[in-house]
Amino acid sequence: MKASDLELLMKRLFPLLMVVAACGPGVYTRAEVVYAEPAEHVYVVPADRVIVVTREVLVQRGYVVYRVENRGPNRIVWARRGDDEVVRIFVTPERERVVVRSIREVHDRGKHKGWVRRDRAEDVVTDIDGRLRAH
């Protein structure tokens, strides 16, 4: 196999390996995978306002907010309910707008013994949406 053939093979396999590694059993879904998905909601409010409303909604729904992570301009709000459910809300400023995405993961105590992505946290984002549009 020539060097150019090997390079071409690696270029084709690399994206596939990244997806498999990002969604592997036992680990949280990588933020890059969530950012690649389409936005759930877009607002013309300050990102800090979205964070405050997100924290209030999560606490009101019985979650414990245990981390607000800064990744460059992005903010990720981590919250858990019990030992088996984690919700992450991704707040991404884009010029004058703020994009909101979410993910819900549950603890799999079966064969894989790790975290499994379930769905988007639609119920939480719907409450956030209602509160942001009301003000």
Q: pLDDT value at position 77?
A: 92
* Cβ neighbours of 42 (radius 10 Å): 11
Q: pLDDT value at position 58?
A: 93
In 3D space, the residue among 100, 121, 115, 108 whose CA is nearest the CA of residue 22 turns out to be 115
Strand, coil or helix: 11: helix
Dihedrals phi, psi of 63, to nearest 5 degrees: -90, 155
Q: pLDDT value at position 99?
A: 84
Q: pLDDT value at position 112?
A: 60
Q: pLDDT value at position 109?
A: 64
Q: pLDDT value at position 65?
A: 95
Q: pLDDT value at position 98?
A: 87
Q: pLDDT value at position 134?
A: 84
Transcribe 22-67 into DSSP letters.
HT-TTSPPPHHHHHTSPPSEEESS-HHHHHHHHHHHHHHTT-EEEE
Positions of the chain with pLDDT under 50: 22-27
Q: pLDDT value at position 5?
A: 75
Q: pLDDT value at position 125?
A: 84
The residue count for the chain: 135
